[in-house]
A and B are shown apart, each in its own frame.
Chain A
Amino acid sequence: MDEQGLICDAQKGDLDAFNRLVLAYQDAVYTHAYRMLGDESAADDATQETFIAAYQAIKTFRGGSFRAWLFRIVTNQCYDELRRKQRHPTTPLEPLSSDDEEVESPKWLGDDSNSPEESFDQQALREAIQHCLNGLAPEFRSVVLLVDVQGMDYNEAARALGVPVGTIKSRLARARLRIQHCLQGFWELLPNEFRLVDEESP
């Protein structure tokens, strides 16, 4: 895919070219939104809003990393959503059983790539990581997600967040350290190669 060509066409109003860019980035954008917000529905909305905003602003894109530009939009959408959540906190609704008790969604049933046991472990680990990410301030969360999950270098992350490279460096170190501390509580979920402490330790 010639990304620059698609961007130029999209800037001229070619909707198909823009939609090809959407298809190329939607998984990454959705993952970032989900990791930032910790909620599928909110991540879905944020992703949709991101691509709408990107379409409306595509003419203002002046070159450089399109990914950084797009992730700046989605990160700002997530900050807005987090602020809104803070102002109007809500309780998520879980499905109810026949005796009116909440039933947790068995998400692992939807993934047929691994055995249920493996899927459960992976899901538990993913949730443990998400729990630790949720404990970070949004500014720290976004840095660790862009660098470690999206694989951006410091310059690209700095452009995506509109902060200096030095800020990325310090925030990333602190975020990694906090996640490291947080994951000590989930050591039994971690694969052997990732165990941060000896098994004798709690």
Chain B
Amino acid sequence: MTSPSLSDRDYELISAFLDGEVDARQKKDIEGRLSRDTQFRSAYEQMSRTRQLMRSQPLLRAPRTYTLSSKAVAALQPTKRALLSFPALLQAASAFASVVFLILFGLNWLTADRMRSAAPLASQEILLQSTELAPLELPSEVSQIAPAEEQPMAKSMPTVMPIQPIAPEIGGMGGGADERADSGVEMEAPLLEPSSGTELLAPTDTITAPARMAPLAIPGEGDVYSQQVPSEESIPESQDVSEFNETESLVRGLSQSWFIRQVLYGVLAIVFAIIAIRTGKRKD
């Protein structure tokens, strides 16, 4: 029984005192307490008997001899190659695949963020370049085309669609309508009138992005657009738009390939880990 008045430290001192593992000062303290503290003395006696009982237990006789034969010693040599065992290799492969997966995941996360922020800027840049390189004889508002994602797409895109360079109510990004009014430029009539026989399917407020119009701008195709826009002006514009398309598809392709690699390494890491765990369990 433990005495409530004795602390763990007291029992520790009693135990060490029984084994002769206390210094002279502690020994003197303990001897003093043993002579005047009955609870301390009782705890000492009980622990002393427990210790004696444990020490009275004889050593067991080994059921056999454990000496090693020269044959057994020779057989021990291949255990050095255990490092190159199949489960060990799988574990290493799993660890490697996991590390690569984590690195790729981190890189993908970083680059995806950059790509996302860079894509609209790149498209703006290309479009601005296109307007600089191929100035149509349009008012200044016309050349200020909004970025692709800011322009609403027509729900039903006609295969044959006349260019509606600018709608009076759109006025470009910078509030061109007001500027136009201030500058006094006449914009009542559209620059490019559709021919009488051409359907006007797209409403004036749903001008599509230049990228969507690019295929229509190929000269010599005989469509309405090519008939209406002078070919020497449409060629550089279509080149820039196709450049924009290439950039966009490159960005998409890169992000797709990153994603595929990420998934592949993830799957690889999981498969290796599962096999390694299963083989490890079998070994146990």
Residues on A lying within 8 angstroms of B by beta carbon are 15, 18-19, 22-23, 26-31, 34, 40, 44, 47-48, 51-52, 55-56, 84, 87-88, 126, 129, 144, 147-149, 151, 153-154, 169-170, 172-174, 176-177, 179-181, 183-184, 190, 193-197
Give B38-80 interface residues, CB cut-off 8 Å to A. 46-47, 49-57, 59-68, 70, 72-73, 76, 79
Q: A31 touching B59 by the CB < 8 A rule? A: yes
Name which residue of chain A comes closest to B45, CB basis: A196
Q: B16 touching A169 by the CB < 8 A rule? A: yes
Chain B: minimal CB distance from A33 (Å): 9
Q: A34 touching B60 by the CB < 8 A rule? A: yes
With beta carbons under 8 angstroms apart, the residue of B1, B14, B50 that contacts A179 is B50
Q: B66 touching A47 by the CB < 8 A rule? A: yes
Which residues on B sit within 8 Å (CB–CB) of A172? 15, 19
Q: B16 touching A55 by the CB < 8 A rule? A: no
CB of B179 within 8 A of chain A? no
Excluding A47-B66, A172-B19, A194-B52, 9 further A-B contacts by CB distance (< 8 Å) are A26-B65, A30-B61, A30-B62, A31-B60, A148-B55, A149-B57, A149-B59, A154-B19, A179-B50
Q: B47 touching A129 by the CB < 8 A rule? A: no
Chain B: minimal CB distance from A15 (Å): 6
Q: Say what secondary structure dominates the interface of chain A.
A: helix
CB of B2 within 8 A of chain A? yes
Number of chain B residues whose Cβ lies closer than 8 Å to a Cβ of chain A: 37
Which residues on B sit within 8 Å (CB–CB) of A87? 284
CB of B12 within 8 A of chain A? yes
With beta carbons under 8 angstroms apart, the residue of B55, B62, B68 that contacts A47 is B62
Measured in the bound complex, the distance between the Cα atoms of B61 and A44 in whole Å is: 11
CB of B178 within 8 A of chain A? no
Measured in the bound complex, the distance between the Cα atoms of B7 and A174 in whole Å is: 11
Measured in the bound complex, the distance between the Cα atoms of B15 and A56 in whole Å is: 37
Which residues on A sit within 8 Å (CB–CB) of B68? 15, 18-19, 22, 51-52, 55
Chain A: minimal CB distance from B75 (Å): 10
CB of B137 within 8 A of chain A? no
With beta carbons under 8 angstroms apart, the residue of B2, B15, B46, B73 that contacts A55 is B73
Name which residue of chain A comes closest to B63, CB basis: A44
Residues on B lying within 8 angstroms of A by beta carbon are 1-2, 8, 11-12, 14-16, 19, 21, 46-47, 49-57, 59-68, 70, 72-73, 76, 79, 284
Measured in the bound complex, the distance between the Cα atoms of B138 and A20 in whole Å is: 106
Q: B55 touching A22 by the CB < 8 A rule? A: no
Name which residue of chain A comes closest to B16, CB basis: A169
Name which residue of chain A comes closest to B77, CB basis: A56
Q: B57 touching A129 by the CB < 8 A rule? A: yes
Q: Can you sample 18 A-B contacts with CB below 8 Å?
A: A22-B68, A23-B67, A27-B60, A28-B59, A31-B59, A44-B63, A56-B76, A129-B53, A147-B19, A148-B54, A148-B55, A153-B19, A153-B21, A170-B12, A173-B12, A177-B2, A194-B49, A194-B56
Name which residue of chain A comes closest to B79, CB basis: A56
Measured in the bound complex, the distance between the Cα atoms of B63 and A180 in whole Å is: 30
Chain B: minimal CB distance from A78 (Å): 14
| A-B pairs with lowest CB-CB distance, top 3 | A173-B15, A148-B54, A19-B67
Chain A: minimal CB distance from B59 (Å): 5
> Known contacts being A31-B59, A40-B63, A52-B68, is A129 close to B54, with CB within 8 Å?
yes
> Known contacts being A18-B68, A154-B21, is A190 close to B53, with CB within 8 Å?
yes
Name which residue of chain B comes closest to A166, CB basis: B12
Measured in the bound complex, the distance between the Cα atoms of B55 and A151 in whole Å is: 8
Q: B46 touching A180 by the CB < 8 A rule? A: yes
**Most chain B Cβ neighbours within 10 Å, of A176, A179, A183:** A176
Chain A: minimal CB distance from B48 (Å): 10
Measured in the bound complex, the distance between the Cα atoms of B8 and A147 in whole Å is: 19
Q: B55 touching A23 by the CB < 8 A rule? A: no
Which residues on A sit within 8 Å (CB–CB) of B59? 27-28, 31, 149
Q: B76 touching A52 by the CB < 8 A rule? A: yes
Measured in the bound complex, the distance between the Cα atoms of B60 and A26 in whole Å is: 10
Chain B: minimal CB distance from A60 (Å): 15
Which residues on A sit within 8 Å (CB–CB) of B12? 169-170, 173
Q: B16 touching A173 by the CB < 8 A rule? A: yes
With beta carbons under 8 angstroms apart, the residue of B11, B62, B67 that contacts A173 is B11
Chain A: minimal CB distance from B199 (Å): 77
Measured in the bound complex, the distance between the Cα atoms of B62 and A153 in whole Å is: 24
Name which residue of chain B comes closest to A165, CB basis: B21
Q: A44 touching B64 by the CB < 8 A rule? A: yes
